[in-house]
Structure 1
Amino acid sequence: MNKTINDPNSPHSIAAEFGVLGSMLIEEEIAGEVIQLLNKSCFLVPANQVIFEVMTHLYDNNKPLDVIVLQEELRSRGLLDQIGGSEYLFSLVEGVPSAGNVEHYAHVVRDKSILRQLMAAADEIGTLTRSGNMDTEELLDRAEQLIYEVTQKKAVNEPEHIYNLLLNIFADIENSNHSPGLSSGFPDLDNLLSGLKGSTLNILAARPSMGKTSFALNIADNVGVRQSEGVLIFSIEMSKDQLARNMVCARARISPHKLSYGVDEKEYKILTTDASVFAQAPIFIDDTPAISIREIQAKARRFKTKNDIKLIIIDYLQLIEGPKEKKENRQQEISFISRKLKEVARELDIPIIALSQLNRSVDARDDHRPRMSDLRESGALEQDADSILFLYRDEYYNKETTEPGISEVIVAKNRTGPTGSVKLRFIKEYMKFMGISYQKPT
């Protein structure tokens, strides 16, 4: 790809590059805006790349941004002759009459850079296609990833000094009084997890009948309806019609079973009112059966680009199809899927909630509370997951429980915070999780 990006015959504008650098030297107040828009790889001319990088360093360290200081910094680094000497630096200042057009120059430089990246992506796709070393699914996934990176106009991901990262963290603290992640809709859980944070893989696991799908859909409702943030749900076990029915019934607090034999006039009115709420909610459901991990990656990228989704929910992980070469070893297949889901979360900078099954050994022992070892093919999931949540309802195993209707959310792993448990009220009839203080109307 670099050959195309640095090819002098590829799209570029020497005049615009010249204009950007000259404008920054004439009026250093504009440097911050330019540095936010461009990085050194946006420039085609090697000398301009060096100059912009050094100017960025001076700006970041609160040093004057003028031709004399720049000249001395380049000389101290042994780079002055490499960029054409002092004459080239002074020509930048003399050749730009005004800094008033710097925004236009910067956008031209960036647009040309994007065109070069697009050409480089096309070249790489062509090379991979001709090589015949990838199967069709792998090739499509790689092609889509390359194009996605260009459409996102990603800057080069270079190592960054820890102090700059800490400055960003403290800026977030000063500018925000709320949880840094999406709210799940359950305050006690948000307090433990600090919300659903970007780039995280979160495993939600339980034995059947614990309500893990309902819990995930309740979170989708809270994010999509209450917070108006995009949610993409991959439902591999249930149809999208079933999920939509369950979501509106949970919100309306009407049993989904009633829809099968009819609801009364009052219930119908409640259902239509609550259904209308979803009209504006950016919630999308995909129920492709036996969907592959590569299909999930591709669709996630498309929906991130088109609909700016902020959360992905997958029901459930063990039903995702892995690559053909991993089929013989289920543990390797789950490990591959787990790793790819983590990559998607990081690439799109959004949280993923992946539902998972638990081994039957939970039911066989006296203490039925789930443990990490109960996760099916648990090794990779334990390693890749940022958080692991278990659902447990004592009344399912113990009919004489002292906590009927109570569901326990056990945070067994939390990479960035404490573990613990949160108790919620589960209204099984409505498939609805509520705060512990909620009392069902009589």
Structure 2
Amino acid sequence: MAVSTEAPVLQSAPPSDSDDGSRTLPNALGPEKSILSSMLKDPQRYITEAREESLTREHFYLPAHGLLFETLCELNDKGNEIELVSLVQLLHDRGILDDIGGRPAVADIYTYSPNASHFATHLKIVKEKHVLRSIIRTCTESIAEAYENPEDTSVLLDQVEQEVLGIRQGSETKASFDIRTEVAEVWTKFQEVLAGEVETQGIPMGYTDLDGMSKGLKPGEMFVIAARPSMGKTSLMMNIVEHVCVDQNVPTLVFSCEMTAFQIVQRLVFSRARFAQSRIGKGFKPSKEELLKLKRSTKEIAESKLWIDDTAGIPIDTLRAKARRRHREDKIGLIAIDYLQLLKSNTRQASNSREREIGEISAGIKALAKELNVPILVLAQLNRGPESRTGSSLGVPRMSDLRESGTIEQDADMIGLLYRSAYYAETEEEKEELAGKSELVLAKNRNGETGHIPLTFIAELMRFETRAHEAD
């Protein structure tokens, strides 16, 4: 059968270049042909190596090369033998032989590289050119979007940053999974726990029962602490932040929508020194011991790796952008947010529904935890459900009390409901009896047990401490 020596240009022609057509996108046609040539001659070795390096059809500049690569990978995955004659026949039967350039094009690729020793070098070149093209396309699309939708500035900025970070992540080859390495790590951690070297799988929070149930703050997880106003949820969050950041030297980023950075640091200093701020007044003179404690507390907090952003009503996309940048620079180990309902979402859908807005914010926080692989501790407000209950249930919160959105309940890995019974006491005697007693109900724990965690709240120090369980 006669074969035309002219290769069709349908798929073998390069894709359209820049928007004005004046410049050619970065490419490396020679290395692309060299990679395919090596794969045709030694499929088992080089197709496997290409897949391990996460090479895909999109990495090839010439569509014909990408199509051939995809076909070779498909045949290899099915365990089919790959040799030139049967390959050409298969491409013909599928009706894509002309898209690749016909028989001469396939034969030319097969003979193109007499030596496959440069496979790794050529593969690296192809991936680098793909990164350059991705940058150009992302920037071009962003420019067009900026002209078309100038009012969605913060949303666009977050989108552009995500896409640029996606290019970086896509260009990095992830180490292949090794079950033996993972099993060894599991066994090592198990032995450390048995030996008493570590008490948790994640970052300890400083509360015995809470750490025992939760196994610590684990990377990629979202821990919601919810309460009604005046229950002390900000104090509990900052007590945990202090333990993580100051005592364990874990870099921590705090987003505070309600308090200023000065107020938060002031709380930290005095609480850590166990000094009641209410004592400060005209003519007050602290003792020498108190001054030493305050100086020590000031020094320890000043030397800690703590960053505080007190932007009021910060949009979730801005928060995520700031967290990414800080994580890139300082390898953040914990993010704390006070509090979820004070954040905003600038999407058009969110503007029409408060529930939809809260849902987007909650999903955005969970996605950030997974993206950065760090735990996120986030506070949330409860609705008036606890006040509407009667008898022994008065003031006791439930997960259904989470304000404005059930998606928080779905997104969170752990949910702790904080309350103080004294707040709902009706008599002075009852208030005195319950003074300081607090409970954190671990109502949801995706990877562990749930239950009540007794705490003591020292109001003048804005501090929660572990409290022993009481007998029934």
- The TM tier, using the shorter chain, reads 0.7 to 0.9
Identify the match of residue 390 of structure 1 among 417, 420, 423: 417
The alignment status of 1:136 with 2:136, answered yes or no, reads no
Q: Give the conservation status (yes or no) of the 8 Å contact 2:34–2:112.
A: no
Q: What's the CA shift for 1:214? A: 1.3
Q: What's the CA shift for 1:38? A: 4.5
Identify the match of residue 95 of structure 1 among 94, 97, 115: 115
The alignment status of 1:410 with 2:441, answered yes or no, reads yes
Q: What's the CA shift for 1:30? A: 11
Matching residue of 2:326:
303
Identify the match of residue 332 of structure 1 among 343, 356, 363: 356
The alignment status of 1:293 with 2:313, answered yes or no, reads no
Matching residue of 1:361:
385
Q: What's the CA shift for 1:29? A: 10
Q: What's the CA shift for 1:122? A: 0.4
**Higher mean C-alpha deviation, range 46-55 or range 202-211:** 46-55
Identify the match of residue 307 of structure 2 among 275, 278, 284: 284
Q: What's the CA shift for 1:259? A: 5.4
Identify the match of residue 133 of structure 2 among 109, 116, 127: 116
Q: What's the CA shift for 1:246? A: 1.3
Q: Give the conservation status (yes or no) of the 8 Å contact 1:206–1:370.
A: yes
Identify the match of residue 217 of structure 1 among 227, 232, 238: 238
Output aligned runs, 1:264-279, within 5 Å: 264-279=287-302
The one-letter code of the counterpart of 1:95 is: N
Identify the match of residue 367 of structure 2 among 343, 368, 372: 343
The one-letter code of the counterpart of 1:358 is: L
Matching residue of 2:55:
39
Matching residue of 1:427:
458
Which has the larger Rg? Answer: 2
The alignment status of 1:188 with 2:204, answered yes or no, reads no
Counterparts in 2 of 1:127 and 1:77: CA distance versus 1, 3 Å: farther
Q: Give the conservation status (yes or no) of the 8 Å contact 2:36–2:110.
A: no
Counterpart of 2:461 in 1: which secondary structure?
A: coil
1:359-380 deviation line (CA, Å, top 9, x unaligned): 2331342312111122211423
The one-letter code of the counterpart of 1:347 is: E
Counterpart of 1:204 in 2: which secondary structure?
A: strand
Counterpart of 1:412 in 2: which secondary structure?
A: strand
The alignment status of 1:379 with 2:406, answered yes or no, reads yes
Counterparts in 2 of 1:379 and 1:21: CA distance versus 1, 3 Å: same
Task: Give the CA RMSD over aligned residues.
Answer: 4.4
- Structure 1 distance, partners of 2:75, 2:338, is 47
Q: Give the conservation status (yes or no) of the 8 Å contact 1:21–1:52.
A: no
- Structure 2 distance, partners of 1:110, 1:232, is 35
Q: What's the CA shift for 1:270? A: 2.1
Counterparts in 2 of 1:30 and 1:375: CA distance versus 1, 3 Å: same
Matching residue of 2:261:
240
Query: TM-score scaled by structure 1?
Result: 0.76
The one-letter code of the counterpart of 1:204 is: I
- Structure 2 distance, partners of 1:147, 1:407, is 46
Counterpart of 2:377 in 1: which secondary structure?
A: strand
The one-letter code of the counterpart of 1:388 is: I
Matching residue of 1:160:
none
Q: What's the CA shift for 1:149? A: 2.4
- Structure 1 distance, partners of 2:129, 2:61, is 9
- Structure 2 distance, partners of 1:257, 1:77, is 87
Counterparts in 2 of 1:114 and 1:281: CA distance versus 1, 3 Å: farther
Query: TM-score scaled by structure 2?
Result: 0.71
1:141-162 deviation line (CA, Å, top 9, x unaligned): 22222223234456699xxxxx
- Structure 1 distance, partners of 2:327, 2:45, is 34
Counterpart of 1:411 in 2: which secondary structure?
A: strand
Q: What's the CA shift for 1:358? A: 1.7
Q: How many pairs does the alignment contain?
A: 419
Counterparts in 2 of 1:153 and 1:419: CA distance versus 1, 3 Å: same
Q: Give the conservation status (yes or no) of the 8 Å contact 2:152–2:346.
A: no
Gaps of 5+ in 2: 1-14, 194-199
Counterparts in 2 of 1:360 and 1:21: CA distance versus 1, 3 Å: same
Work out the percentage of aligned pairs sharing the same amino acid: 32
The one-letter code of the counterpart of 1:314 is: I
1:181-225 deviation line (CA, Å, top 9, x unaligned): 333333432332343233333221112332211111122223323
